[in-house]
Structure 1
Amino acid sequence: MNQSKAFRIVCACFVVVFLFASIFPFLWILITSFKPEVEIHGNGAYNIIANNPTLENYITVIFDKHILTAVKNSFITAATTTIYVVIVASMSAFIIARFRFKGKSLLMGLILSISMFPQMIVIGPIFNMFYDLGWLNTYNISLAYCTITLPSAVWIMVTHFKQVPLSLEEAAKIDGCNYWGILWKIIFPIAAPGVFATAIITFIAAWNEYLLSCTLNIAESMQSVPVRISYLRDEYTIFWGQITAAAIVVIIPTLIMVLVFQKQIVAGISHGAVKE
């Protein structure tokens, strides 16, 4: 009994340490965002509560640095990327999971290997293609985002689609349902947790994408959130107060989304890990 109690205490301590390590950076960013620049670099740098708390950093990034424009750009590109990836990945995953054809294993390996290419290798050809098509500084950057997120989305959906019993598909065929109807009326609703998790993961990946955005959309009016934040500096100074305030502003949408849909995300990930 004593050993069991000691074990629970040790586990509780590890959980507390883990939670502190996870939450502390966010709390420190929040605290720093209310500090004037003098306190961030001066003697009050390590104070938990600012001596002279201010909203100046938030006012600057919202009205002077136009961070909300960057939020709008990131949301449009991330949402477009998510819709496209979910549609294409679901159809691709359905074919891979349900049809027998030669080279299926090779195809899955090829899809996985594509996602392993460093972005620095593919950024040059993508830039040349966008330049020739006149797509620089447009929302067409979503197509470039898809090249990064689509392979992993296909892999996740294949895992979930394989969990759907074949008996349901056979019953639908007997009732006269074609493959398109089977996908959207049978498999898609049953595998909804996995599809939802894939959509959230894709959205967050597109929301945080930096390299493609800073290469393809360099105009200030089309910059994404990560790129806009990287410009909160001058030749000699990094404005940490503005950076932390901007970080809080842009974290809020994704944080709310994750908190609201956390059950669906966990259900989607865990459902794909269980073999029935």
Structure 2
Amino acid sequence: MRGKKKTGYIIKKTAFYLLICFIFVYMLFPFYWAVNSSLKSEAQLQMTPATFVPRDPETKAFSPTFKNYISVFKDGQFIRGLVNSTIVATSTTILALAVGSFAAFSLGKLRFRGKKPALYVILAMTMFPQVTVLAGLYAVINKLGLSARLSMILSYMLFTLPFTTWVLTSFFKDLPVEIMESAQVDGATPFQTFRMILLPLTAPALVTTGLLSFIAAWNEYLFALTFTSIEPTARTVPVAIQYFTGVIARQEPLGEIMAASVIVTVPIVVLVLIFQKRIIAGLTAGAVKG
């Protein structure tokens, strides 16, 4: 019996690790292939069958090249897109956290009529596809004559603000009421209690929601393509990559596109690595209640 149990345990453990390895490869392989393609020349990209590492077409020796990265950084449109994406994504994140934290504090800690309907309306706003509001939103922004960058920041708030508010509300709800009561006894106003006591306690949630909002704004394509159609200088990185052109007419610059994709992904990876402890704390906070 012990031998059978031990065999069953080994099989289950082996199957578990095989599943983990499969998920790991499945998740990382697209990024690996982008890096691999970005280090290949045009001739290497046309090799059949495709190679898992950059190889010389004739000698088959390992032969990576950084020409694609050099070409990308020499492209003024791409650099301008990086600057635009940084401005738009950072501004969107700051606004979403500022407005969302105030709304979450009100919905999580204050008493007023219509609190539950307000929460359901906020949740419903996250369910609308972007394309359903794009035409009407573009008409309104065009009528107001807003710049493309400001248009993107305001439009991105449509999907970052409801998400931020909804997530932060649950964190404010979990904070003990005694904290607010003690602050009131000490003479603190509701705003002082929020700014000096409650807000620092929700730092993990702020980092988690802020990073997710930043990623959503950084990667957004549909609104950016629409609002920058009449203002090309405001194009963000996803749109700038789309307009890459090859040296030869009608050539698809796959290597440069892959290099640009890797460069765009690096800031997100760096942010996740820097704030990983805060992100884990934010995702697991409130998961276990004693």
Q: Same fold (TM over 0.5)?
A: yes
Q: CA deviation at 1:44?
A: 5.5
Corresponding residue number in structure 2 for 1:19 = 24
Corresponding residue number in structure 1 for 2:96 = 85
Deviations 1:85-123 (A, max 9, x none): 001000001111112223222111111111211111211
The answer to whether the 8 A contact 2:84-2:149 is kept is no
Q: Write the letter of the residue equivalent to 1:75.
A: T
CA distance in structure 2 between the aligned counterparts of 1:33 and 1:47, rounded to whole angstroms: 12
Corresponding residue number in structure 2 for 1:254 = 268
SS state of the match for residue 138, structure 1?
A: helix
- Residues 8 and 47 (structure 1), Cα distance of their counterparts in 2 relative to 1, 3 Å cut: closer
The answer to whether the 8 A contact 1:90-1:157 is kept is yes
CA distance in structure 1 between the aligned counterparts of 2:286 and 2:144, rounded to whole angstroms: 39
Q: CA deviation at 1:195?
A: 1.2
Aligned positions, number: 276
Matches within 5 A, 1:193-204: 193-204=204-215
Q: CA deviation at 1:83?
A: 0.6
Question: Whose radius of gyration is greater, 1 or 2?
Answer: 2
Q: 1:110 and 2:121 equivalent? A: yes
Q: TM-score, normalised by structure 1?
A: 0.94
CA distance in structure 1 between the aligned counterparts of 2:269 and 2:52, rounded to whole angstroms: 26
CA distance in structure 2 between the aligned counterparts of 1:104 and 1:40, rounded to whole angstroms: 57
Q: Write the letter of the residue equivalent to 2:175.
A: V
What RMSD over aligned residues (CA atoms) do the two structures have, in Å?
Answer: 1.8
Matches within 5 A, 1:45-56: 45-51=50-56, 52-56=63-67
Structure 2's unaligned 5+ residue stretches are 1-5, 57-62
- Residues 274 and 132 (structure 1), Cα distance of their counterparts in 2 relative to 1, 3 Å cut: farther
Deviations 1:233-267 (A, max 9, x none): 57844321111000011111111111111111111
SS state of the match for residue 258, structure 1?
A: helix
CA distance in structure 2 between the aligned counterparts of 1:47 and 1:269, rounded to whole angstroms: 36
- Residues 275 and 159 (structure 1), Cα distance of their counterparts in 2 relative to 1, 3 Å cut: farther
Q: Write the letter of the residue equivalent to 1:59.
A: I
Q: CA deviation at 1:151?
A: 0.5
Corresponding residue number in structure 1 for 2:59 = none
Corresponding residue number in structure 2 for 1:31 = 36
From 65, 69, 72, give the equivalent of 2:80. Answer: 69
CA distance in structure 2 between the aligned counterparts of 1:5 and 1:174, rounded to whole angstroms: 60
Q: Write the letter of the residue equivalent to 2:23.
A: F
CA distance in structure 2 between the aligned counterparts of 1:194 and 1:250, rounded to whole angstroms: 25
How many percent of aligned residue pairs carry the same amino acid?
A: 33
SS state of the match for residue 285, structure 2?
A: helix
Q: TM-score, normalised by structure 2?
A: 0.89
The answer to whether the 8 A contact 2:44-2:54 is kept is no
Structure 1's unaligned 5+ residue stretches are none
The answer to whether the 8 A contact 1:97-1:162 is kept is yes
CA distance in structure 1 between the aligned counterparts of 2:287 and 2:125, rounded to whole angstroms: 23
CA distance in structure 1 between the aligned counterparts of 2:113 and 2:289, rounded to whole angstroms: 24
CA distance in structure 1 between the aligned counterparts of 2:15 and 2:149, rounded to whole angstroms: 53
Divergent runs of 4+, >4 A:
233-236
Q: CA deviation at 1:140?
A: 4.4
